[in-house]
């Protein structure tokens, strides 16, 4: 499929397949999940898909055979398969930035051939991986010495957004497979409290900063990087030579790296065809590689690649990310669901939903079609969540008995990473119980039959009919984490493709960034600034200056 034909697609809501889904939605209005189960005793096994150690149970959704048939037809009519081919081939499908979208090349095997502008990018990918491997081994073995000759014990990644969330999430997720001799921290916020707390107990002579930024111009990252340099230099009485042993950079922008004062031989590069939120498997994953070692990092990449191959070559009706995407789109567009909850039942996945927030919302939170016109349909819902079981004692009340539909992804692993007593059986029981309760609920009659007085029974009523996906995965390993992340990446791709938006730019973040830059002098200046904002913003600026004792 040519990029031009992607842009020129007819309006989504005018496709006969879309209209058929809208009609079908009406016919489903009175069907409940319980009805669907009653009509088909084998639904639980039939409406599930198995691949790569992931058992995806999608039976507890408001979908029938007909729904799925229509959704697959919509994906076909939307040209998802051609779009997918164009992405894997390195065509410039990120049209607003004129870039290819090739995060899949980051995890391709060394003998793969993937071309951008006629050049095979795979050798360069593996070259960077080798350099990352050498560096990681030097840190892990204590061979890399700080300026005072001491080995490095602390790694601090400075980055934000895609240059932070992926590595920070992966470090937590794979703690069990990580070196325990190293302390690895992540500083992202421009709020000084972040830098202060993350470095408070660290010895600068044993600390190395990875300054991680695709552009190397991001306000937060550069502010933190300058503060880090001062912190290091202070420990070495201002000896500028110290920074060579205490800073490395990850970026696509060698000029800015050099300008900052990091020797580009200590820079690990990546390319403009890797989006920030798709970059944790590029050099942006340097802290992950330091933690896991090169072999563990390769396993992570192999997991991504497994899912790439599954997505690329499995028929749509058995394709995990495609099915997940279509069911999500069904709720977002035809049931008006404004959110999706991500509920991993694994404490190591504490940061997983925060990671997916950027992946999904920065990719598909858009209202402009590839052809420049405004969409006439809903796009990305809000993504949120917390690990279970904690969330059960906080916000699940609303999912069970609230007035809004919240489709949820439950993610759990069969084989526990830490086997202690019967914790894991209790954990898994909670997953299965929650999804059963959400789907089937409990009626007032059932509650009264248990002796609950009639006035109280309605308060205890559980309407059920709350849709969930369950991903029962083998075990949380580097490879499995790679598979899961790639699954969500491709889910986002499929949805963005059908919505006819560009999932790979992020213009929506620009205006606020520029306005903040312009406002900094208005807050800092010694003299009273002339303000020309709206009256609310002017008042806030004046109030802040006043509170800080400025004119």
Among all residues, which ones are annotated catalytic? 362, 393, 513
Distance CA 274, CA 105 (A): 9
**Quick one: which of 60, 84, 214, 245 contacts ligand F6P (CB under 6 A)?**
214
Sequence-ordered strand ranges (E) for 385-528: 408-415, 468-475
Strand order across the beta sheet in which 54-57 lies: 48-51, 54-57, 468-475, 408-415, 339-344, 382-384
Distance CA 205, CA 225 (A): 16
**Interface with ligand F6P by CB under 6 A: which range of 156-164, 262-270, 438-446, 517-525?**
156-164
**Interface with ligand F6P by CB under 6 A: which range of 7-15, 189-197, 210-218, 460-468?**
210-218
Look up residue 450 and give its two tokens: 């248990």
Minimum CB distance to ligand F6P, residue 335 (Å): 30
**Residue 163 or 477: which CB sits closer to ligand F6P?**
163
b/e code 283-298 from CB counts within 10 Å (16+ = b)? bbbbbbbbbbbbebbb
277 binds ligand F6P (CB under 6 A): yes
Distance CA 308, CA 114 (A): 14
Size of interface with ligand F6P, in residues (CB under 6 A): 14
**Quick one: which of 53, 90, 204, 276 contacts ligand F6P (CB under 6 A)?**
276
Minimum CB distance to ligand F6P, residue 169 (Å): 13
**Quick one: which of 78, 154, 157, 163 contacts ligand F6P (CB under 6 A)?**
163
> Who contacts 473 (Cβ-Cβ below 8 Å, separation ≥6)?
53, 54, 55, 411, 412, 413, 414, 480, 484
**Quick one: which of 64, 207, 213, 487 contacts ligand F6P (CB under 6 A)?**
213
Site string for ligand F6P, 344-363 (x = CB under 6 A): ------------------x-
Residue 462 half-sphere exposure, CB side, CA atoms within 13 Å? 18
Distance CA 159, CA 213 (A): 6
Which DSSP symbol is given to 392? G
CA dihedral 427, 431, 433, 437 (to 10 degrees): 150
Q: What share of the chain is helix, strand, coil (3-state, %, to 5)?
A: 55, 15, 35
285 binds ligand F6P (CB under 6 A): no
467 binds ligand F6P (CB under 6 A): no
Minimum CB distance to ligand F6P, residue 277 (Å): 5
**Interface with ligand F6P by CB under 6 A: which range of 5-13, 122-130, 158-166, 418-426?**
158-166
User: Dihedral sign, CA of 111, 115, 118, 122?
Assistant: negative
What part of residues 105-134 is at the interface with ligand F6P (CB under 6 A)? Answer: none
**Residue 240 or 509: which CB sits closer to ligand F6P?**
509
**Quick one: which of 79, 90, 162, 529 contacts ligand F6P (CB under 6 A)?**
162
Minimum CB distance to ligand F6P, residue 155 (Å): 18
**Residue 190 or 428: which CB sits closer to ligand F6P?**
190
179 binds ligand F6P (CB under 6 A): no
Distance CA 532, CA 284 (A): 40
What part of residues 22-81 is at the interface with ligand F6P (CB under 6 A)? Answer: none
Distance CA 275, CA 91 (A): 15
**Quick one: which of 509, 516, 518, 540 contacts ligand F6P (CB under 6 A)?**
509
Minimum CB distance to ligand F6P, residue 220 (Å): 8
**Residue 206 or 256: which CB sits closer to ligand F6P?**
256
Run of H or E including 364 = helix 363-364
Distance CA 166, CA 170 (A): 6
**Residue 60 or 214: which CB sits closer to ligand F6P?**
214
Footprint on this chain of ligand F6P (rule: CB under 6 A): 160-163, 213-215, 218, 221, 276-277, 362, 506, 509
């Amino acid at each position: 499929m040519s990029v031009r034909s992607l842009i020129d697609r007819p309006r989504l809501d005018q496709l006969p397949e879309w209209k058929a889904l809208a009609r079908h939605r009406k016919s489903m209005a009175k069907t409940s999940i319980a009805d669907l189960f009653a009509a088909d005793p084998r639904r639980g096994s039939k409406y599930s898909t198995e691949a790569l150690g992931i058992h995806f149970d999608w039976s507890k959704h408001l979908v029938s055979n007909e729904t799925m048939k229509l959704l697959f037809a919509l994906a076909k009519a939307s040209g998802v398969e051609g779009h997918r081919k164009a992405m894997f081939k390195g065509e410039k499908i990120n049209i607003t930035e004129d870039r290819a979208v090739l995060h899949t090349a980051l995890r391709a095997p060394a003998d793969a051939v993937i071309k951008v502008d006629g050049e095979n990018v795979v050798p360069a990918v593996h070259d960077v991986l080798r350099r990352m491997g050498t560096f990681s081994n030097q840190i892990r073995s204590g061979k890399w010495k700080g300026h005072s000759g001491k080995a490095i014990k602390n790694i601090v990644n400075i980055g934000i957004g895609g240059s932070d969330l992926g590595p920070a999430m992966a470090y937590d997720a794979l703690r069990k497979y990580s070196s325990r001799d190293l302390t690895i921290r992540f500083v992202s916020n421009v709020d000084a409290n972040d830098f202060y707390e993350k470095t408070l107990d660290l010895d600068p002579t044993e600390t190395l900063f990875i300054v991680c930024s695709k552009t190397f111009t991001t306000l937060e990252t550069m502010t933190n990087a300058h503060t880090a340099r001062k912190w290091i230099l202070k420990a070495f009485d201002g000896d500028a030579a110290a920074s060579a042993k205490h800073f490395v950079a990850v970026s696509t922008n060698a000029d800015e790296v050099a300008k900052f004062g990091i020797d580009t031989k200590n820079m690990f590069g990546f390319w403009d065809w890797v989006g920030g939120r798709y970059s944790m498997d590029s050099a942006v994953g340097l802290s992950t590689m330091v933690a896991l070692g090169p072999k563990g990092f390769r396993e992570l990449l192999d997991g991504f690649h497994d899912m790439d191959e599954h997505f690329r070559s499995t028929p749509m009706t058995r394709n995990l990310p495609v099915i997940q995407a279509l069911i999500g789109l069904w709720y977002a567009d035809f049931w008006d669901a404004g959110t999706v909850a991500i509920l991993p039942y694994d404490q190591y996945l504490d940061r997983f939903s925060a990671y997916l927030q950027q992946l999904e919302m920065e990719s598909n939170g858009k209202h402009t079609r590839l052809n420049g016109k405004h969409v006439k349909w809903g796009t990305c819902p809000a993504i949120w969540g917390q690990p279970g079981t904690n969330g059960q004692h906080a916000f699940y009340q609303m999912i069970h008995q609230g007035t809004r539909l919240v489709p949820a992804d439950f993610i759990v692993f069969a084989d526990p990473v830490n086997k202690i007593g019967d914790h894991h059986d209790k954990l898994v029981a909670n997953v299965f119980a929650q999804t059963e309760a959400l789907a089937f609920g409990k009626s007032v009659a059932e509650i009264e039959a248990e002796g609950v007085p009639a006035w109280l029974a309605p308060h205890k009523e559980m309407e059920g009919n709350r849709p969930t996906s369950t991903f029962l995965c083998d075990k949380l390993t580097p490879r499995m984490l790679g598979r899961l992340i790639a699954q969500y990446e491709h889910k986002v791709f499929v949805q963005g493709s059908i919505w006819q938006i560009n999932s790979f730019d992020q213009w929506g973040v620009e205006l606020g960034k520029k306005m903040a830059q312009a406002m900094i002098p208005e807050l800092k200046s010694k003299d009273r600034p002339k303000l020309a904002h709206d009256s609310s913003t002017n008042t806030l600026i004046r109030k802040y200056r006043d509170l800080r004792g400025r004119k």
